């Protein structure tokens, strides 16, 4: 895999220290939690006024600097959730009358935001099959402002190649907005490949411990300022404690994701060899349709995989009830291994046909691989398959 230039410090170092560790005698090694929503203000000026809803509380500022460094962006903003991040990121780019091209392979909540909420604001959205040749170009209009996509895709684990799309957006003066939640910055930094905006549900890999709800937007300093204005007015700022927890979670991002990558690969290979697993969806396997894109674009194949067991959609319920370590829960990206059925979670509002077209047929199980020992996770799958 390609080793990308990340400036002087490696990602794992940035995740612990940021760009400049505090070195004064008696300074705490861990950034203190400032659980205060009010700060004494200078008399006679509004300059420098702090208020957490403005995104300028001390804990927000610390974690924002660190996230910008990790993604290789000028600026970053932490918001109250991944959905809050997506909504504010796009509200800062689009006005009534504008047109957005979005991948049809999207997280369920994002899809509803784009197709239902944005319609009421006069923002038109066209969904594009990201694998259709020249699909983006064919649907571009005079009013098109941006392309929005996820890669790798939740939950199908398909990998959309950002490189040709970023040539197109640069050529046409559009913004390329990437929801990079599934990859985490350990496996992919979209800005290095020409993306303009990167969004994360920090609830997932960035925090990584199933105990914080938050989102991140990364981009140029001037754009981040516009997102901040939206966040203030739409009330999508995070609490100081969430920022402090995210700061703590980030320190172990690199080791967690490396372990999750390795565990997922081992599990995918094991599943591939089983007769009672009909299909395995993991971009690290050589027969995955996007393996070549994944191999050249990602630094790791990720901790998410999809399986379809041979017992079919009906057999999945029995399988899920027999699992002991893997727990049935809808989120992903944390240290505990989780399994979910998109038909009963992120993609519940679609019909079975619509889901099948997105590569998520009934019976599809999404595995979010944690940091436990791979052999224990495999043994648990094996006993539940019996
Ligand atoms: C979970 C998720 C979101 C939404 O994030 P929340 O933190 O739950 O609001 C957005 N995009 C993707 C790809 C996700 O997995």
pLDDT digits 0-9 by tens, 241-274: 999 999 999 999 999 999 999 999 999 999 999 9
- Per-residue pLDDT of 351-381, as tens digits, reads 999 888 888 888 899 999 999 999 999 999 9
Instruction: Determine contact, residues 201/213, Cβ cutoff 8 Å.
Output: no
Gap from CA of 82 to ligand 1 centroid (Å): 5
- Per-residue pLDDT of 263-305, as tens digits, reads 999 999 999 999 999 999 999 999 999 999 999 999 999 999 9
**Predicted local distance difference test score (pLDDT) of residue 1:** 37
**Predicted local distance difference test score (pLDDT) of residue 22:** 81
322 is catalytic: no
**Predicted local distance difference test score (pLDDT) of residue 3:** 41
**Predicted local distance difference test score (pLDDT) of residue 50:** 96
11-250 to CATH, choices 3.40.50.2300, 3.20.20.110, 1.25.40.340, 3.40.640.10: 3.40.640.10
Closest ligand 1 atom to Cα of 85 = 9
204 is catalytic: yes
Marked catalytic residue, from 6, 50, 51, 53: 53
Average pLDDT of 379-384? 98
Instruction: Determine contact, residues 243/59, Cβ cutoff 8 Å.
Output: yes
Helix (H) or strand (E) holding 84: helix 82-91
- Per-residue pLDDT of 161-186, as tens digits, reads 999 999 999 999 999 999 999 999 99
253-385 to CATH, choices 1.10.10.60, 3.40.50.1100, 3.90.1150.10, 3.30.565.10: 3.90.1150.10
User: What residue segments make up the domains of the chain, in order of their start?
Assistant: 11-250, 253-385
CA distance to 87, 92, 100, 137, 357, per residue, from 96 (Å): 14, 12, 11, 22, 30
Gap from CA of 232 to ligand 1 centroid (Å): 20
Burial of 65 (0-12, 13-18, 19+ CB in 10 A): middle
Asked if pLDDT for residue 2 goes beyond 50, the answer is: no
Q: Is the peptide bond before 236 cis (omega within 30 degrees of 0)?
A: no
107 is catalytic: yes
C-alpha count within 13 angstroms, C-beta hemisphere, residue 302: 36
Neighbour order of strands in the sheet with 277-281: 277-281, 304-309, 364-368, 338-340, 327-328
Instruction: Determine contact, residues 217/199, Cβ cutoff 8 Å.
Output: yes
């Amino acid at each position: 895999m390609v080793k990308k230039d990340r400036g002087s410090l490696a990602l794992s170092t940035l995740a612990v220290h940021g760009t400049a560790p505090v070195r004064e005698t008696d300074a705490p090694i861990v950034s203190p939690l400032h659980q205060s929503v009010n700060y004494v203000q200078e008399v006679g000026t509004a300059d420098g006024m702090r208020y957490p809803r403005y995104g300028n509380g001390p804990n927000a500022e610390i974690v924002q600097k660190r996230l910008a460094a990790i993604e290789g962006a000028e600026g970053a903003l932490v918001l109250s959730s991944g959905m809050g991040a997506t909504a504010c990121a796009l509200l800062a780019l689009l006005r009534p009358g504008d047109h957005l091209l979005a991948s049809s392979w999207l997280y369920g909540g994002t899809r509803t935001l784009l197709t239902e909420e944005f319609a009421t604001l006069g923002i038109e959205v066209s969904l594009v099959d990201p694998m259709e040749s020249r699909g983006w170009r064919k649907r571009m209009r005079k009013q098109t402002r941006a392309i929005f996509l996820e890669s790798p895709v939740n939950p199908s684990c398909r990998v959309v190649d950002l490189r040709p799309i970023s040539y197109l957006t640069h050529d046409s003066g559009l913004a390329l907005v990437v929801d990079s939640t599934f990859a985490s910055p350990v496996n992919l930094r979209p800005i290095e490949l020409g993306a303009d905006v990167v969004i994360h549900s920090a609830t997932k890999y960035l925090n990584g411990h199933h105990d914080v709800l938050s989102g991140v937007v990364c981009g140029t300093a001037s754009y981040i300022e516009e997102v901040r204005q939206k966040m203030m007015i739409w009330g999508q700022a995070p609490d100081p404690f969430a920022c402090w927890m995210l700061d703590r979670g980030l320190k172990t991002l690199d080791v967690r994701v490396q372990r999750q990558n390795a565990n997922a690969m081992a599990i995918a290979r094991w599943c591939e060899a089983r007769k009672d697993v009909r299909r395995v969806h993991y971009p690290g396997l050589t027969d995955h349709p996007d393996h070549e894109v994944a191999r050249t674009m990602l630094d790791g194949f990720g901790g998410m995989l999809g399986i379809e067991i041979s017992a079919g959609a009906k057999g999945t319920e029995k399988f899920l009830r027999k699992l002991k370590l893997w727990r049935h829960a809808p989120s992903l990206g944390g240290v505990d291994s989780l399994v979910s059925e998109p038909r009963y979670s992120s993609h519940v509002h679609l019909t079975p046909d619509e889901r099948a077209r997105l590569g998520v047929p009934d019976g599809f199980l999404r595995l979010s691989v944690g940091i436990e020992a791979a052999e224990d996770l495999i043994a648990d799958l094996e006993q539940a398959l019996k």
